Amino acid sequence: MKVTVVGAGSTYTPELVSGLAAQRSRLAVDELVLMDVDRGRLEVVGGFARRMLAHQGLATDVRLTTDRTDAVRDADAVLVQLRVGGQTARLADETFPLACGCVGQETTGAGGLAKALRTVPVVLDIAEEVRRIAKPDAWLIDFTNPVGIVTRALLDAGHRAIGLCNVAIGMQRWMADLLEVDPGRVEVDPVGLNHFSWMRRVLLDGEDVLPRLLDGRMDDLRTRLPFPEHLMRMLGALPSYYLQYYYLHDRTVAEQRRERPRAAVVADLETELLDLYRSPTLVEKPTQLEQRGGAFYSEAAVDLLASLYADEPTVHVINVRNDGLIPGLAADDVIETRCLVSRSGIEPLPQPDVPPVILGPIQHVSAYERIAAGAALSGDADDVRRALLAHPLIGQWDLVEQLLPGFER
């Protein structure tokens, strides 16, 4: 099997490589093509990937290339994990909304929209090439943010694509830790959109233990989720930590004004990681990588890939079309939900009724995402205004006008 990674110069790539090694019995990758536009980074990350695989005794042939056409040709699966404009563009996304009193975040609010506008056309262009010259049934797995909007654009254009994020698997591993059980016994059941979801059930051996956790383990839950007790108990759900940008918006803005932007922190971390990857003696992913937000990304991505080629279906939380699963959303809206995945297809699992306190915001952000995906295609300034007006964190005309110059870069 030929697997291609577009954006392989990312410091996350060793995550993926360790996932391939861990899943070797489920997924036989004989050719791994690492493609990036940045030759220097590709050499560093690719060299390290080769050492990691050799250390694990894997015979996978690793090819490094800056030629996307060559990378994609005849691939069975293409993973897209790029960041248009790098951390510099991210820094701008995180700072211009703050100047207007809005949250500065790379996937939420105005910053997320700016990222969507420059990213969607690039990913669609890659997808077109995948459709043209990869294997006819090749899958495109998108880890590129904002995953909800990018996946929507990919599916709208008829691509065989799945959007993936590590928030759910991160929650699942954390719940297993709290319960002190093997992660294989725990499933989480989020409802909502990418980076906008509520965990309504935590299943331990199939039984929902979330009410018990909300009752007896609130202090533990609050170590990683910044939400007030009352809020979580009242919802009967664990909001994803991205919900802090909504539920605690003004508080977060005040904090962000005091703190260093995440883009600056990550840029330093990347310099450090790349230095480590250069070391010929390093053969395993360094612990510093855990300081990035993408923990368990490798497990999620490689697991999903293995399931797409397996006979036996397994459950994954992925971004797919709603297709009637959540009444109140359009069939073509893209949601993040549990699905059974196997070589015979993707089957979303039923969701209990979604109460208005959760459904309302999901509908609101879905409408924004629809307009945002359209704006990324049209490039029309009024579509950008419409997206900002429809965003629950913006919505005011004066703010829209103040934010607009931030999109002109």
Identity of the residue, 62 or 199, whose beta carbon is nearer to ligand G6P in the bound complex: 199
Identity of the residue, 81 or 402, whose beta carbon is nearer to ligand G6P in the bound complex: 81
243 touches Mn ion by CB under 5 A: no
In sequence order, the 6+-apart residues with CB closer than 8 A to the CB of 199 are: 168, 171, 188, 189, 190, 210, 237, 238, 239, 240
- The strand pairing partners of 315, in sequence order, are 340
> How is residue 256 written in tokens?
């962000």
The least distance separating Mn ion from the CB of residue 171, rounded to whole angstroms, comes to 12
Q: Is 166 annotated as a binding residue?
A: no
Q: Which does 240 bind (CB under 5 to 8 A by kind): ligand G6P, Mn ion, none?
A: none
Q: Which does 26 bind (CB under 5 to 8 A by kind): Mn ion, ligand G6P, none?
A: none
Q: Which does 293 bind (CB under 5 to 8 A by kind): ligand G6P, Mn ion, none?
A: ligand G6P
Q: Is 145 annotated as a binding residue?
A: yes
Task: With contacts defined by CB under 5 A, name the span among 65-73, 158-166, 169-177, 298-306 that binds Mn ion.
Answer: 158-166
> How is residue 162 written in tokens?
């799945």
Q: Quick check: 266 and 87 in contact, CB under 8 A?
A: yes
Task: With contacts defined by CB under 5 A, name the span among 124-132, 161-169, 183-191, 351-359 that binds Mn ion.
Answer: 161-169
Q: Which does 111 bind (CB under 5 to 8 A by kind): Mn ion, ligand G6P, none?
A: none
Q: Which does 243 bind (CB under 5 to 8 A by kind): ligand G6P, Mn ion, none?
A: none
The least distance separating Mn ion from the CB of residue 364, rounded to whole angstroms, comes to 20
The least distance separating ligand G6P from the CB of residue 396, rounded to whole angstroms, comes to 28
How far apart are alpha carbons 212 and 42 in whole angstroms?
Answer: 47
Identity of the residue, 21 or 165, whose beta carbon is nearer to Mn ion in the bound complex: 165
> What SS3 string covers the chain?
CEEEEECCCCCCHHHHHHHHHHCCCCCCCCEEEEECCCHHHHHHHHHHHHHHHHHCCCCCEEEEECCHHHHHCCCCEEEECCCCCHHHHHHHHHHCCHHHCCCCCCCCHHHHHHHHHHHHHHHHHHHHHHHHHCCCCCEEEECCCCHHHHHHHHHHCCCCEEECCCHHHHHHHHHHHHHCCCHHHEEEEEEEECCEEEEEEEEECCEECHHHHHHHCHHHHHHHCCCCHHHHHHHCCEECHHHHHHHCHHHHHHHHHHCCCHHHHHHHHHHHHHHHHHCCCCCCCCHHHHHCCCCCHHHHHHHHHHHHCCCCCEEEEEEEECCCCCCCCCCCCEEEEEEEEECCEEEECCCCCCCHHHHHHHHHHHHHHHHHHHHHHHCCHHHHHHHHHHCCCCCCHHHHHHHHHHHCC
Identity of the residue, 9 or 294, whose beta carbon is nearer to ligand G6P in the bound complex: 294
The least distance separating Mn ion from the CB of residue 151, rounded to whole angstroms, comes to 11
Q: Give the residue at shortest CB distance from Mn ion.
A: 165
Q: Which does 173 bind (CB under 5 to 8 A by kind): ligand G6P, Mn ion, none?
A: none
Identity of the residue, 29 or 243, whose beta carbon is nearer to ligand G6P in the bound complex: 243
Residues of the shown chain interacting with ligand G6P in the complex, contacts defined by CB under 6 A = 145, 165-167, 262, 266, 292-294
Q: How many residues bind Mn ion (CB under 5 A)?
A: 1
The least distance separating ligand G6P from the CB of residue 197, rounded to whole angstroms, comes to 11
The least distance separating ligand G6P from the CB of residue 166, rounded to whole angstroms, comes to 5
Q: Is 165 annotated as a binding residue?
A: yes
Instruction: Name the active-site residue from 12, 241, 242, 247.
Output: 242
308 touches Mn ion by CB under 5 A: no
Residue 387, φ and ψ in degrees, nearest 5: -60, -45
247 is a catalytic site residue: no
The least distance separating Mn ion from the CB of residue 293, rounded to whole angstroms, comes to 8
165 touches Mn ion by CB under 5 A: yes
Strands 207-208 and 196-204: antiparallel
Identity of the residue, 75 or 266, whose beta carbon is nearer to ligand G6P in the bound complex: 266
Identity of the residue, 76 or 299, whose beta carbon is nearer to ligand G6P in the bound complex: 299
Q: Is 230 annotated as a binding residue?
A: no
Q: Residue positions in the annotated binding site for substrate? A: 90, 145
Q: Residue positions in the annotated binding site for Mn(2+)? A: 165, 195
User: Can you give the binding site for Mn ion, defined by CB under 5 A?
Assistant: 165
Q: Which residues are catalytic?
A: 242
Q: Residue positions in the annotated binding site? A: 90, 145, 165, 195
